[in-house]
Amino acid sequence: MMEKEKKQRTVATIHARSFSVSLDEVKLPSGRVTERIRVEHPDAAALVPILDDGRIIFIKQYRYSIHEETLEIPAGKIDPNEDPEACIRREFEEETGNTVKNLELLLKYVPAIGYSSEVLYIYKGTGIIQKGVPLSSDEISQVEILSFNEIRSYISTGIIKDGKTLIALYTLYSNCFEKDG
């Protein structure tokens, strides 16, 4: 077992609606005291929604974190006591108005391991029924449906820059790490 950093005290905390951020003083195994930011973030779920013709549904939205518009797969935070699959069905319907029949877990990972507890579940979704009207009135997003060639172009030019979207697409289209490989 590797030696841990030991928490000494919490210096400051910010509480947002669905998560909190703390600054902790920790003692390193060397004895030195330093600080760690810890974002206590709920887990989240994302979906690669694949239409019957192979095209994929993306969300175009403004992101406050980087002050830019982005192209991302649909995703959202898991509510307390909510199942990741129930979460992504709900978020997908809220963001696009569509429903998804079949879900397959592609990957479960930690996006920002240096400072956040968030775990993200990414699903592949088929059997999409397009209804077309997002449910949430606050949505500042638009639906975009892209072909494989468009996706490849947006990745190579850096227009698709969101981590979960990139890792989902690479996981989906690569086969070298198949479990039965």
Query: What residues between 151 and 170 interact with its own copies by CB under 8 A?
Result: 152, 155-156, 158, 161-164, 166-167, 169-170
Q: Which token pair is 133?
A: 């009207």
Give SS3 for 27: strand
Closest separation in Å from C-beta 74 to its own copies: 13
Instruction: Tell me which of 85, 94, 107, 150 binds its own copies, using CB under 8 A.
Output: 107
- 85 vs 111, beta carbon nearer its own copies: 111
Stretch that binds its own copies, among 36-44, 80-88, 94-102, 123-131 (CB under 8 A): 36-44
Q: Which token pair is 108?
A: 């479960």
Decide: is 28 part of the binding site for its own copies (CB under 8 A).
yes
Cβ atoms of 160 and 151 within 8 Å: the answer is yes
Instruction: Draw the binding track, 46-85, toward its own copies (x: CB under 8 A; -: no contact).
Output: --------------xxxxxxxx-xx-x-------------
Q: 180 to each of 103, 106, 110, 121, 177, how far by Cα in Å?
A: 19, 14, 23, 21, 8
The H-or-E segment that residue 164 falls in is helix 163-173
Closest separation in Å from C-beta 7 to its own copies: 8
Cβ atoms of 121 and 108 within 8 Å: the answer is yes
Instruction: Tell me which of 8, 79, 83, 108 binds its own copies, using CB under 8 A.
Output: 108
Cβ atoms of 56 and 155 within 8 Å: the answer is no
Instruction: Tell me which of 129, 140, 147, 159 binds its own copies, using CB under 8 A.
Output: 140
